[in-house]
Chain A
Amino acid sequence: ETGVTQSPTHLIKTRGQQVTLRCSSQSGHNTVSWYQQALGQGPQFIFQYYREEENGRGNFPPRFSGLQFPNYSSELNVNALELDDSALYLCASSYLGAPPEEAFFGQGTRLTVV
């Protein structure tokens, strides 16, 4: 049990729709990172939020956006869904500058785009 909770666990969306995924951070953590894991691949970094500001972004288009709230929970929004967006989306909660063993991943949200 990592204390990092993602919701929903699974969902199915239609191409062109929009989706919001949620992540609640572990208590005391101020940084959330989001990753996309396509089937058979390793996770790829989407972006990171630190104290409600985007703090770095991977190679993802602007239709992937995020928010971090004052309680450090976070949302990942994806607009104009494409079939290739089907993946497991993982969030990782940490305290900026903390040692590696203090960063925890949630169980992920499995998104299927049809």
Chain B
Amino acid sequence: GEDVEQSLFLSVREGDSSVINCTYTDSSSTYLYWYKQEPGAGLQLLTYIFSNMDMKQDQRLTVLLNKKDKHLSLRIADTQTGDSAIYFCAEMDTGTASKLTFGTGTRLQVTL
């Protein structure tokens, strides 16, 4: 079955870059996603990458995909205090239903 793993916690100083890592197991995933969840809120889609790409840049966000190692990373440049949240990576299984399999989330803490 699918399994998605992330480290639990990351602390960075404001203005530094953050890199959040994720490993997944389902090699048939078509899309891989990064979601942000702030306290008491739902999930906000930050960015996604199609499985035939190895990099995608969107303003301060850079996604890198290593399909061989099944490793996905999210780099946030110039991290701000408003970036403090839990970040989930997810893979999409487009079998019977387009379901997302999420990791356990990485809590990003941004300090001054």
Contacts and interface: CB of A to CB of B under 8 A. Distances in A.
A10 to B, nearest CB: 10
B45 A100 contact: yes
Interface stretch (A11-19, A41-49, A65-73, A77-85): A41-49
B50 to A, nearest CB: 9
A42 B96 contact: no
B95 interface: yes
B41 interface: yes
Interface string A71-114: 00000000000000000001010101000110111111000000
Given A55-B96, A56-B96, A56-B97, A103 B102 contact: no
Interface string A1-43: 0100000000000000000000000000001010100001111
Given A40-B104, A41-B104, A42-B104, A101 B99 contact: no
A48 B48 contact: no
Given A90-B43, A100-B45, A48 B98 contact: yes
A46 to B, nearest CB: 9
Interface of B: 4, 31, 33, 41-45, 48, 88, 90, 92, 95-105
23 contacts: A35-B102, A41-B104, A42-B4, A42-B103, A43-B88, A43-B102, A45-B99, A48-B97, A48-B98, A56-B95, A56-B96, A56-B97, A90-B42, A90-B43, A92-B43, A92-B100, A96-B98, A100-B33, A101-B45, A103-B45, A104-B45, A105-B43, A108-B42
Query: Shortest 6 CB-CB distances between A and B: which pairs?
Result: A56-B97, A42-B102, A48-B97, A56-B96, A45-B99, A105-B43
Given A43-B88, A58-B99, A104-B45, 20 more contacts: A33-B99, A35-B100, A40-B104, A40-B105, A42-B90, A42-B102, A42-B103, A43-B43, A43-B100, A45-B100, A47-B97, A50-B97, A55-B96, A56-B96, A92-B43, A94-B98, A101-B45, A105-B42, A105-B44, A106-B42
Interface of A: 2, 31, 33, 35, 40-45, 47-48, 50, 55-58, 90, 92, 94, 96, 100-101, 103-108
